[in-house]
């Protein structure tokens, strides 16, 4: 299943929509770094840093890791991409989730795409810079409300800087783009300049409490598919791991970014832990084990829901063993004037996938609404009640039910 369109903003509102979307390889009881830890309660306030990609993370970022991991034993956060900026029918104001439920999502999704675009010249009249400021302000608003921020990165390919879709690239650029950003590659300095921009944003992202805002960062996602230039057909597992390690080390060790949790998020092709870990860069570079999944939910069947749950069970079990956080990092079903909702999509299908077989998932992220369609219904839609039932489940968490995610509990 391929992702479809990118919708630009009107009147400084980002209306970017992609329909989600997957490849394969080894494993049998050992992590890439040796024997795995099987005690799901091994995490304590005293040892939490030893399980994180950044042992020098800010206290608030450490607390976020700890609280996400602990909360996932009994609950999951509901999130949406661009919830404060993109709305069905351009009905601006409250988030569409708040329009439906009375509360904002617990998790706000954003994107570094426009922030790192070649056309962002940093001047107030520049459209891309305006998007940057809007995204930063939305992230601050989310943090000030106690919400969690997660950023993906639809990074433009490094030769022309115009697209992230391989369908819009030349064959030569598809084959050469990823290798070109690695150390020694012709576009390595270009890639570092993009990381410099990401680092600048993260190192200056502060809330009303004047503390750095913790952010979940989900780069190079859905890498098992071939619709992005970092997909499996365009880089080897070793190259993918090298790029990931360089990215973390450059942000963490060179740019001194210490308010990030790093999320590993393939699409839904992996059914075994061996295949899932085939491009895994190692425990020292990952905080969150995710999976994007649209395809298994696309026809609304119980078989697809079971398949999705089985894959999430695999991810959840790995996260327990590795003492990481597990999540469904992107999903949804896009409803438009020509595409009707799936009956029970939220309260039955998504809920079952998120809870059956004792999976422990920290959050589920739905994709963005826009003028022409929605992934999460605002009020007044034929499936709004379905979403309300899902949001009212005992395991579901919206902004109003959030615990203090940025303070370590006293135990």
Catalytic residues: 222, 330
CB of 383 within 8 A of CB of 341? yes
CB of 323 within 8 A of CB of 333? no
CB atoms within 10 A of CB 41: 9
Pairing of strands 107-111, 148-152: parallel
Please name the residue ranges forming H helices in 216-344. Answer: 237-249, 273-276, 302-322
Cα separation, 196 vs 314, in Å, equals: 35
CB atoms within 10 A of CB 159: 18
- Could you give the angle at the alpha carbon of 356 between the alpha carbons of 362 and 327, nearest 5°? 20
Kindly state the tokens that stand for 298: 């696309």
Cα separation, 145 vs 346, in Å, equals: 25
CB of 148 within 8 A of CB of 218? no
């Amino acid at each position: 299943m391929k992702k479809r369109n990118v919708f630009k903003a009107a009147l400084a509102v980002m209306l970017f929509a992609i329909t989600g979307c997957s490849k394969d390889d080894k494993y049998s009881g050992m992590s890439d770094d040796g024997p795995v830890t099987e005690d799901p309660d091994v995490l304590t306030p005293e040892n939490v840093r030893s399980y994180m990609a950044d042992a020098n993370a800010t206290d608030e970022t450490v607390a976020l890791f700890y609280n996400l991991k602990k909360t996932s034993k009994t609950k999951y956060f509901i999130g949406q991409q661009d919830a404060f900026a993109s709305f069905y029918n351009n009905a601006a104001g409250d988030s569409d989730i708040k329009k439906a439920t009375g509360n904002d999502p617990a998790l706000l999704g954003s994107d570094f795409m426009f922030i790192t675009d070649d056309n962002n010249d940093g001047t107030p009249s520049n459209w891309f810079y305006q998007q940057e400021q809007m995204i930063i302000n939305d992230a601050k608003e989310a943090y000030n409300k106690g919400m969690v921020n997660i950023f993906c990165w639809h990074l433009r390919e490094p030769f022309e800087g115009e697209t992230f879709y391989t369908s819009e690239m030349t064959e030569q650029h598809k084959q050469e783009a990823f290798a070109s950003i690695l150390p020694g590659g012709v576009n390595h300095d270009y890639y570092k300049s993009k990381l410099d921009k990401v680092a600048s944003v993260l190192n200056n992202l502060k809330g009303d409490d004047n503390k750095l805002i913790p952010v979940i960062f989900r780069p190079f996602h859905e890498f098992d598919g071939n619709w992005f230039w970092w997909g499996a057909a365009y880089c080897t597992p070793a190259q993918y791991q090298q790029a990931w390690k360089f990215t973390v080390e450059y942000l963490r060790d060179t740019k001194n970014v210490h308010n990030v949790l790093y999320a590993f998020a393939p699409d839904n092709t992996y059914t075994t832990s061996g295949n899932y870990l085939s491009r895994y860069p190692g425990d020292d570079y990952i905080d969150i084990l995710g999976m994007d999944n649209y395809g298994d939910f696309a026809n609304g069947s119980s078989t697809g829901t079971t398949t999705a749950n089985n894959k999430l069970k695999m991810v959840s079990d790995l996260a327990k063993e590795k003492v990481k956080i597990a999540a469904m990092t992107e999903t949804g079903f896009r409803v438009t004037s020509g595409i009707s909702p799936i009956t029970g999509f939220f309260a039955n299908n998504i809920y079952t996938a998120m809870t059956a077989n004792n999976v422990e998932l920290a959050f589920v992220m739905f994709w963005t609404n826009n003028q022409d369609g929605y992934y999460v219904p605002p009020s007044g839609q034929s499936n709004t009640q379905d979403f309300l039932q899902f949001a009212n489940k005992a395991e579901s968490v919206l902004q109003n039910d959030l615990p203090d995610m940025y303070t370590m509990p006293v135990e």
